[in-house]
Amino acid sequence: MIIDLSLPIDDKLVETHDAKIDRISHAQGVEHFNWVVMKNQPGGQERFDKGERVATKEEIPDGEMLSLEIVHSSVHMGSHVDAPFHYGSTCEGKPAKQIMDVPLEWCLGPGVVLDFTHIQFPAAIGKKDVQDALAKINYKLKPMDIVLLYTGGDKLLGTDDYVNKYVGCTVDAIEYLLDQGIKMMGVDTIGLDRPCFLMFKEFLTTKDKSKIWPCHFLGRRREYCHMERLGNLGAIPKPFGFTVSCLPVKVRNAGAGWSRVVAIV
């Protein structure tokens, strides 16, 4: 059984980094085909503008060309993997891995889902919460396990609360996972840290460096990846004994890549 844990890149969502998708339908594709062919010919654009065509819809099978979608999106929209480069230019004293550099071995492995649905905003997931969740399922983490943090935050998708009132993590929770040899983890919220505008307010009020992106900035001194914007974690029928695949799209010189994340049971 394969369980989809992914959310789409959705241009209907209003968020901090909105996506825009230009859609050319099958019928519109006939006009687009004519424009693509003619625009680079001598005088082709002028002839196209005057109504000349190299092929009519009657000459195209069923009067339809191929559909085409052009996506303008941050690599952090939809389900995605954050690479160490997202956290900073260096990691553990070396140039940080970009998304193309992330070892594929980190992206396919034994999965463990930890249930934190009892924790509500503005509380955050701490080290003890992680330890308690592991004790509840009687599981000891192994190096290279892929840990999924289940908060139920995906149910808020499309609402203001999805951006501003989700359950994030504290640094000690992430450090504990890294101490167990974890290299990849994921969460079903928009971010691994606490809500960003809450962090921004605390940081600007205090200028305390520990208040701004602490879980992300941890990745400057300890190498790891994490997934954000997962969904459907509650559909995984058991807390461990399944496989997670989160192979990211190879985006050149980028700190993240979209991923079709799945649990294989």
CATH number at residue 95: 3.50.30.50
CA distance 137 to 241: 12
CA distance 65 to 104: 37
Query: Of the residues 34, 49, 72, which one is the last residue of a structural domain?
Result: 72
Query: Of the residues 72, 88, 112, which one is the last residue of a structural domain?
Result: 72
Task: Tell whether 55 and 106 lie within a shared domain.
Answer: no
Task: Tell whether 64 and 87 lie within a shared domain.
Answer: no
Q: How confident is the model at residue 103 (pLDDT cuts 50, 70, 90)?
A: very high
Total of domains in the chain: 2
Domain that holds residue 29: 20-72
pLDDT tens per residue across span 13-67: 877 778 899 999 999 999 999 999 999 899 999 999 999 999 999 999 999 999 9
Flag whether pLDDT at 112 surpasses 80: yes
CA distance 228 to 82: 8
pTM exceeds 0.85: yes
Task: Tell whether 56 and 161 lie within a shared domain.
Answer: no
Task: Tell whether 139 and 241 lie within a shared domain.
Answer: yes
pLDDT of 17: 79
Task: Tell whether 236 and 256 lie within a shared domain.
Answer: yes
